[in-house]
Chain A
Amino acid sequence: MDGIHDMGGMHGFGPVPCDQDRAFDYDWQKRAFALTEALAWSVPFCADEHRAAIERIAPADYLRLDYFEKWAVAATALVQAAGLVDPQEVASGRKRFDIVQADHPAVDPADVLAATKAGAEMTFPASTAAPRFAVGQPVRVQANSPAGHTRVPRYVRNHLGLVVADSGVFQFADTMATGQGPSPQHCYTVEFRASDLWGNVADANGSVCLDLWEDYLEPA
C-alpha cells in the first residue's frame, strides 16, 4: 500500500528526536500495547493484520496520533471487523451484545507469557521449495504497487540489488495480512547500493539491505 507509513527516503520530517529515549512515556501506552497483544489471541489476529490495520489509518491521523494510540485504533478496527464489537459500543464504551465466548477465550497470564517467550512459528524448515534466486545473483524488485499490505518499500521498487543471503522459507506477509494463509516461500536479503537508490545525493560507498520475499523479485 502506497501509504504514509512507507516513509523510507521521504523529506521534511526534520531532525531525529534523539532525546525521546524511552519505549513508554505514559501508562496508557503500556495498556494499549498489552491490550493489542492480548486481543491478538482472542479475536484472533496476527502481526501482519495489525500492521495492515495501522496502514489503513488516514495519513493525517497517522502523523498526528501517538504510536500506541495507532496500535489501539488498529486493534479496535480488527475487533470490529471480526464482528465482536459494533461502532456504538466503541463510541460509548458500553457493551450492547454478548459474543460467543467459547470462540474467543480471553488469554490467561501464564499462557500469554509462555507463548511470548516461545515466539511465533513463521518458517517452514521442512519445505523442499527450490529457491528461485541464488546468493550473488542480481535481482530487480518488481514495479507492483498493490493497494493492500506489502513489505516492499517504495524506495526499492523497480531497483536492482544483489542477493546476499537466502534466509529460508517463511510465511508471506502480504497473504498473512489478508487471512489468505502463509504462501510459504524463500525470503532473501538483498543489498542495494546507495547510489542506485538515491543518485547523486547518496553516500559514496553506502548500501541498504532489505529482506524481500521471492514473490517481490525477478531476475535482473
Chain B
Amino acid sequence: MLQADAFQRLYPDKYLTKFIEQGVRPDGRPLSLARATSIGLGVVSTADASALVKIGSTTVLAGVKCEVMPAVADAPDEGRLTLQVELAPLCCSSARPGRPSEAAALLTEQLEGLLEGAGVVDRRQLCIDPGKAAWALYVDVYVLDADGSLQDACLLAVLAALSSLQLHAVTLDDAGNIQKAAVPDAGAAAAAAAAAAVPGSPQLRRLSLGCQPVSLTCGVYLGRLLVDPTAEEEALLEAQLTATVDAEGGILGFYKAGGSVTASQQRVQQCVEAAKLRSKEVQGLLQQALDQAAAAAAAAAPS
C-alpha cells in the first residue's frame, strides 16, 4: 500500500480530490474556513511601525520607515507613500535573490491599487509644512513564508503597520531643518516626554485611515469554493478569486486573473459574502492587537 505522503507527491491532483469530495481540506479545515490568523505589532524596533502577520503558515512582515522630504511643487501639501512587496528568497523554493520577481511586482501593484483606489491614506495627512516639507513613508513588505493567499496576508500586514504608525510632531526651523515640536514650557517637558510613548499624546499623531481594506482569496476546485487556499492547494486550483472589502461591506476590489474555469454571478456573490465575513473577523483581531499594543505602551511609560 502506498503511504499517504508518497501518494500526495505522485498524484497531487487525486490526493486533493479525495479530500475535497469529502468536504474537507488536506489540513483538516472545512472548505469555507480561513486559517488561524495572528497579528503582532511593533516587532521590529528599528522600524517606525511594523507588523508580523501569520495566516496559517503564511508569514508576512511589514515595516514602515518615515523620512522627511522636501515638498513637491505640484502637490505642495502632500506627502508620499511608497510601497514595495518583496518575496524574500527564503519564502519559497522558486524565489531567488536578486531583482524583484514578477510575482512580487504583481503583489506590489495589487496593494498599491487597493490603497490608492480606496483612499486608505490621505496624503495631505503627511504634510509637515505646506510647500516646504512632508513625510515620505516607505512601507516595505517581506514575505517570509509563502504558503498561499499572499495578497490577504500582505494587505493585512500593511493595514496593521499603518494603523499602528504614529508620526512625530515636528516643525521646520528658520534654517529649514526639522526640529521636534517645541514643548510649551520647561516644567511640562518632562511630563510630555513621559507621555510621548502613550498614544494620543500631542507628540505623536496617528494616521487616520480612510478605510480598512481586508481581502480574502478563494479558490475554485471541482466546482467548489475553497476559502484561503494554501500553496499546495493553489498549485492545483482551477481559478482564484480575491475580493477586498472594507469594514462597512463596500467592495474595494474584485480580482480574478484568468484560470481554467469562469465564474458565474452566484460564484462572485459567494466570494464577496465570504470576504465580508472574513473582514469582520480580521477587523476584530486587528483591534485586539492595537489595544494590546496601546496597553503595553502605557505600561512601559513611567507614570
Query: Do A and B interact?
Result: no
Measured CB to CB, the residues of A under 8 A from B are none
